[in-house]
Amino acid sequence: MGLLSSSFEGVTLTHDAIKYKREGGPVAGATARVESGADVRRRVTAARFILLSPLIAFAAKKQVGHVFLTVEGDGFEFAVEVPVKKEADARKFASKINTASRRTA
């Protein structure tokens, strides 16, 4: 991982990759967002919603007090439930991912 790695809520970002549990891939071309569960449900199709994360299938139904850090990249996507009190930190981390994505693309 080296000195250039950072992490948030189990998501690890290095200079060229992003990883969460068993999911991940190259940071080049990846997009990160911080969204409410309702926003996630509206944005993805039903099939992708189920595949995106079993967590969302149960938690996104009107989960009060939580938002989701969603990351989509070439061949991977994942969502991480984040307490709303950490939303600002989640937005900063999403910005780091998006900046790294543009720099490596």
How does pLDDT run across 32-46, given as a tens digit for each residue?
999 987 776 666 555
pLDDT band at 90 (very low <50, low <70, confident <90, very high): very high
Q: Is 17 contained in some domain?
A: yes
* Structural domain boundaries, residue 17: 6-104
CB 50 within 8 A of CB 41: no
Q: Is 42 contained in some domain?
A: yes
Q: Is 58 contained in some domain?
A: yes
54 Cβ neighbours under 8 A, 6+ residues apart:
none
Q: Residue 12 is part of a domain; what is its CATH number? A: 2.30.29
What pLDDT shows up at residue 2?
43
Tell whether the model's pLDDT for residue 13 goes beyond 80.
Answer: yes
Q: Is 89 contained in some domain?
A: yes
Q: Is 1 contained in some domain?
A: no
Q: Is 43 exposed, middle or buried (0-12, 13-18, 19+ CB in 10 A)?
A: middle
Q: Is 21 contained in some domain?
A: yes
What pLDDT shows up at residue 3?
45
Statement: the pTM of the whole predicted model exceeds 0.75: yes
Stretch 58-83: mean pLDDT: 79
Structural domains counted in the chain = 1
